[in-house]
Amino acid sequence: MPRSVFITGTDTGIGKTRTSVALLRALTARGIRAVGMKPVASGCEWQDGHWSNEDARALIAASTPPPAYALCNPYALRDAVAPHLAAAGEGVSVALPPVQAAYAALAASGDCVVVEGAGGWAVPLGPQLMQADLPRALRLPVILVVGLRLGCISHALLSARAIRADGCELLGWIGNAIDPQQPLQADNVATLRERLDAPCLGLLPYGLDSDTGAALDAAVAALTPPA
């Protein structure tokens, strides 16, 4: 059976959703029923009688089968600020049981679940809850999305160290080109391959997403080990 996975990133705005959507499409193209999940999303607009997040909607559109919004995104927080601050501002307490229940329902509807985190790795979700508690509770390996821009090497190495220090399995990393002007991008990627003690599972080019599936063959293989 395919493995489900938790997608985190070196920062906010570095392409976790783009990568998650590309991975969902790559899995679907190989006949795997892959479903996306965004447990906690801050930054929503009111649509169809509920708060709705753009990233969660993108995951739903790329899922097979598309899940109900409430299962994909159990915590839809209005303000586009750090999740624990958005939740506190609304009087909401983010907790594991609703996330676990939604994940179980999604896992029952498909072959694997691609769970996208919020922001970077060390994000507080509540007074006693950190983002690392999600993949630990769901027992998911982690893929780190590295936003390829100036400073990405330090961010990636620190994130990888923190993921392992928090007791999670780092399955690998995916580079996402977000700065077309990044100097020495190929050299940066080479350094990441050398210094990150985890395999590179794909490199997504800058620009349109018309054909990103083939770039994630290694990620798909990591999630679909041979029987």
Domain ranges of the chain: 5-36+95-120+130-223
Q: For residue 41, give both structure tokens.
A: 């999303």
CA-CA distance, 29 to 49, in Å (whole number)?
33
Q: pTM of the predicted model, to two decimals?
A: 0.95
Angle, helices 54-62/16-29, rounded to nearest 10 degrees: 10
- Homologous superfamily (CATH) of 5-36+95-120+130-223 is P-loop containing nucleotide triphosphate hydrolases (3.40.50.300)
User: pLDDT averaged over the chain?
Assistant: 94
C-alpha distances (whole Å) from 17 to each of 96, 183, 188 are: 22, 24, 22
pLDDT digits (tens, 9 = 90+) for 81-128: 999 999 999 999 999 999 999 999 999 999 999 999 999 999 999 999
Q: Is the pLDDT of residue 32 over 70?
A: yes
Question: Which pLDDT belongs to residue 208?
Answer: 64
- Looking at residues 134-148, what average pLDDT do you find? 97
Q: What pLDDT, on the 0 to 100 scale, is given for residue 210?
A: 53
Span between the terminal Cα atoms of the chain, in Å: 8
Which pair of structure tokens corresponds to residue 146? 């590295």
Catalytic residues: 38
Cα distances (Å, whole numbers) of residue 179 to 32, 35, 147: 32, 29, 8
pLDDT at 213 over 70: no
* Distance set, CA 35 to CA 106, 107, 112, 196 (Å): 7, 8, 6, 28
- Model confidence over 34-70: pLDDT tens digits? 999 999 999 999 998 889 999 999 999 999 999 999 9
**What phi, psi does 200 have (nearest 5°)?**
-80, 125
